[in-house]
A and B are shown apart, each in its own frame.
Chain A
Amino acid sequence: MSDLEYDDELIAGILERTETIAMVGASSNWVRPSHFAMKYLQSKGYRVIPVNPREAGSQLLGETVYADLAAIPDQFQMVDIFRNSKAAGGIADEAAAIKDKGIEFIWMQLGVRNDEAASRAEVAGLNVIMDRCPKIEYGRLYGELSWSGVNSRIISAKRPRIMQRRRNG
């Protein structure tokens, strides 16, 4: 992982405020990381709207795939980008231009980082997270990742409630 540091409170706040995620680069190939992330985030109660021009109009995990962000008819709070760092810049700009769809957060996936685009998006009033995966961050903050020996960096003597952000539907 890169040297980017994000406070847990910031990440948790984004995961708590987000209801719907537009996932750019969502793949119908079930061994791709984007497919894993979409399915996982759905199981945690998020609505995930897939964006992929090559699969536009088809159905993926119960949702219609759209060609681009502008084509999505509904509101969404997060844009989760599974594209290379260069392409991610254009998508961030696209998101900033249509932020009246409710967009607050740009999230670039593991290995994806575009500092210039992030600065432009922040000027436009969006929060930007780069080189992180919301699935992994969700798992880390709510204890599931610890089951795989990952250092969650969480310390607490409080009794955790049974973890489930919210149920589907």
Chain B
Amino acid sequence: MDIFLNALWDILQPASVMLMFLGVAVGIVFGSIPGLSAAMAIALFLPITFTMGPNAGMTLLVSLYIGAISGGLISAVLLNIPGTPSSIATCFDGAPMARQGEAGKALGVGIVFSFLGGLLAFTALIFIAPPLAKFTLRFSPIEYFAITVFALTMIASLASGSMVKGLLSGMIGLLLATVGVSPIDGARRFTLDIDNLTSGFDLLPYLIGLFAITEVLIAAEQFSADKHVEPLALKKIKGFGFTLAEFFAQKWNLLRSSLIGLFIGILPGIGGSTSSILAYIAAKKQSKYPEKFGTGIMDGVVASESANNATIGGALIPLLALGIPGDGVTAMMLGGFLIHGLTPGPLLFKTSAEFVYGIFAACLVANMIMLILEFFGLRIYIKLLKVPKYILLPIIVVMCVVGAFSVNNRMFDAESILLFGLIGYLMYKAKLPLAPAVLSFILCPLIETNLRRGLMLTEGSFLAFFAKPIALFFLVTAIVALIVPLVRTFRSHRAKAAGTTKTPVG
């Protein structure tokens, strides 16, 4: 507890609070403007954290993450377009509320319940992560290998759409991650005698290219179509726009949705968009008036917004306790740790406890700042929604190029973001999800190092990996997670084929 209070005190210093205000404010801007995302905000700011200490750097990243996820609700309510995928379900009732002249109330509800969902999840994070880290301290490279493979498989199979495509996307990350010097024995691999490739592709240009440049190229497809939508006007509201009675009527909805968000966040590969939709469906099923959902009631906004913010706390649990990111954004947070020479995981709780608790404190304070900024700065954010994307995106591109260049002060990194942006765009056209490619790129060295260390321990026997109960559990789960969807796809293809051969006859 003392460590936490000390960390909280450090976080509450003026410089740190100012940094968090900046992070949350920028995060909200990225979250509220459709086409800009939390991942893009973090990709853009990762190189900037390079010049800061690890505490300040991570504080900024956490603030961006919290701001961006909650900022999505602004455009979801006022434009009926989710600013981030996490706010999809907010549109269902938030937008109808706005059309009925209740935009202020919808935003007020969204802001307060985003805050409360986040608060519940961050409290859970503080209580769950340390004991989990203590438990995983006993893990050998074999267990780590198994968990990493499990995380990768889950992400690929759950990401979206076809599992085979999810896995192929993961393969792209693995292929690119093996370029450079190999772990343990330092052999050069796939460097094509290019000196700049000896140290492999740098993580930051990879993330910036894949997330930011890809988004710009995707946006370019619609440049000529002037689809700018004006946000709805906001009437004057009192407080947050709802009564205490209305607030207390949502207590079970809040608790249920936050728990769904937290749980979904802990599981790798699912993310905020699914959690908000699941919470929305659960709220509708449990409601006494399910027929009113979708017509503009606050219950829908409460479910979606408390769940998507709770997902942040959930996603940070495996990242901090195991060093395994659950989605694209936490993968980038992991990148933030790595550039400061810190490896998240159980050891971090032992060697840099004050740093970990600093992140916990930053989550709580940034959540509070989000509440303040969204309440008082709402009108400014609404104005920002009017800035055309054809002005905004090229400026973001320049910042990406400068950011990539500043990592190692070499042009090669700036050039490589183009390559990764192009790869990301082709992946988008091929309907390959991006998140598995990011996670596998980060996890590949971890998988290879732990596999090779594990094989040294077992004198070259891979079967011995299955003798360890925890490794056995995760490896079997990974295999099941791979086989079940494959069998399902195979069966559905057979059923379709059988159906089509019958149809012409019948």
- Specify whether A and B are partners: no
**Hey, which bits of chain B sit against chain A, CB under 8 A?**
none
**Hey, which bits of chain A sit against chain B, CB under 8 A?**
none
